[in-house]
Structure 1
């Protein structure tokens, strides 16, 4: 793991802290106390750094990845730059002094990498870069077209920069609390709402489907489709609504993904996913069809089609999905200390799956360079 100055990661949380140029090398406890200040939906960068700070030469069997001091022993190099937090803290308006500072801080990280012999040796192929927010690291993405990117989806990336073959799709951290006491005798009948959604209906890009769904779902007595901004009251109502519903709708946000899917999983509410181009986390290990339903946009906006389909699902079918949903929900939990196959372990496992292809590309590139030198 690169020993970056604090201003590139935890210093953004504790802005008044002195010595921002000194790397953060101590134990994780001081950072963990302030984790709530991280933008929760896009806090993957935080959790991955926390994991590595507390995993130096660890023998904990719960861990997939171990941090090493000797770069010669490393399979991959992790860059602990909070690119999503930088955008949300400084660049969110896209213009002005804050956005300029976001660009400068990105440029500072780029300078560090360009000076690194480890970056130069692989052209960044064995480097793990977190860009979970769709606008994270937006000024220098071309530089990372060979690196292993940790993303929420591929909505705002050209194919030459981000693609499933080399990159990892990571879940959002859910913002509603995990449903810990969902063991009622009759969960099907106790969930009185057929389909639930609460969130911003007017969105751009992929999210325009939300306004079209509003027209289709309005005036349905067993559906709750509510326009709501993020607030503590809205979060409370969303939590209550998801726990009282059999199905939770997951339409795209501004990009193909949104936090709604992971809120539904945490609430044990069977997800209804409406998307034509969504990539899902850990899909090589998890079959989402066992606990989710999928509809194309054209199917979902067809009058009465979606609702009638859900109404006709029998109790036994729903219970099988609900039970499977509870079985897999731990894969989407970010926590410290980590537990076996939780979210951050699953992400590192996905990175591990990329290593053979990275090694192949690096070795082949070196061989071709040598051949080219001899020809000259």
Structure 2
């Protein structure tokens, strides 16, 4: 899900504004898939071959006068949070030019500075994320395999399938407290996968069954909880939209206050998508012992569940298919990306 798929590159290559004249292009796109190269190197036990490929990309960029003299911006697609996979030669090269990094989360740079990261002592690399542009995550196939009936009156209840043990300043713990079936007038589907993905004895069948259960839960639920993960955004937001479920985006009040984040931070394509019209946002009260605050958050959820959400679900699915569906509409993703870049590169 961190891998911007080849269909996006192909869509950019056939875009109506594509030109083969470098001098006429306001924006250059680097035609490389570095994460795919890294995964291939791991699978074939050929990490040296991956590093050679990254060095070749660096040399090719340095050989371009427009890049070397910073005449034009260059778009580089890399969704992952480990810049170390690119190698320092390519990283130094990217920093030397007018590079715009297209990635899944602008806060990945915070991970780059962790002590166990080989690049932690070189925080300059995190600037690539800070000045980048955000791409949607790739939604799971269970959400995109068929068009959901977003207007179905039978969609009801809340759902969350995932790991309750993430380090998220207590957001998931409080979410679990809110979604107590006995206190909500709607079905609640919760599944904790924290034990599954860490159990080496788990079989392929068990994973397949869990995958199918999660897909089914998305398709019948009305409100799908989407707490922040290790980073600010979550793949669940895009799974929910694709499945015709309204994502409830949960974020830490502490992090938003201390890091000056908002609910819009890290959401892709704000120039094309009105996120306040296709999602709900909640920063749950984290004060210990405040049952009234918990009850207030729970009432807020319950009131939204009672509200007519058909138009919001339909708008969410339309936004996903039009701007974020790599599998079925990569041209739409490419167009939304270019619209976003036009905010930075007016001539593009």
Which band: TM-score by shorter chain? 0.7 to 0.9
Q: 1:86 to 1:213 in 2, by over 3 A?
A: farther
Determine if the alignment matches structure 1 residue 200 to structure 2 residue 187: no
CA distance in 2, matches of 1:138, 1:156: 15
Q: 1:215 to 1:101 in 2, by over 3 A?
A: farther
For the 8 Å contact 1:47–1:344, the answer to whether it is kept is no
Aligned mate of 2:102, from 140, 150, 157: 150
Q: Residue deviations 1:318-372, cap 9 Å, x none?
A: 2342232233232221246755xx22221122233332389xxxxxxxxxxxxxx
The residue that corresponds to 2:76 in the other structure is 129
Aligned mate of 1:120, from 68, 74, 95: 68
Deviation at 1:120, TM superposition (A): 0.7
For the 8 Å contact 1:64–1:348, the answer to whether it is kept is no
Deviation at 1:106, TM superposition (A): 2.7
Deviation at 1:254, TM superposition (A): 1.9
Q: 1:42 to 1:87 in 2, by over 3 A?
A: same
CA distance in 2, matches of 1:208, 1:106: 39
Number of residue-to-residue matches in the alignment: 295
Determine if the alignment matches structure 1 residue 289 to structure 2 residue 276: yes
The residue that corresponds to 1:46 in the other structure is 6
The residue that corresponds to 1:160 in the other structure is 127
Q: Does the residue aligned with 1:118 lie in a helix, a strand or coil?
A: helix
Determine if the alignment matches structure 1 residue 182 to structure 2 residue 146: no
The residue that corresponds to 2:34 in the other structure is 83
Q: Does the residue aligned with 1:81 lie in a helix, a strand or coil?
A: coil
CA distance in 1, matches of 2:302, 2:132: 38
CA distance in 1, matches of 2:34, 2:287: 35
Relative contact order higher in (CA < 8 Å, ≥ 6 apart): 2
For the 8 Å contact 2:150–2:314, the answer to whether it is kept is no
Q: Scaled by the length of structure 1, what TM-score is found? A: 0.67
Contiguous gaps of at least 5 residues in structure 1 = 1-40, 56-62, 359-376
For the 8 Å contact 1:87–1:135, the answer to whether it is kept is no
Determine if the alignment matches structure 1 residue 109 to structure 2 residue 100: no
The residue that corresponds to 2:203 in the other structure is none
CA distance in 1, matches of 2:70, 2:58: 15
Q: Residue deviations 1:32-54, cap 9 Å, x none?
A: xxxxxxxxx2332522222245x
For the 8 Å contact 1:213–1:300, the answer to whether it is kept is no
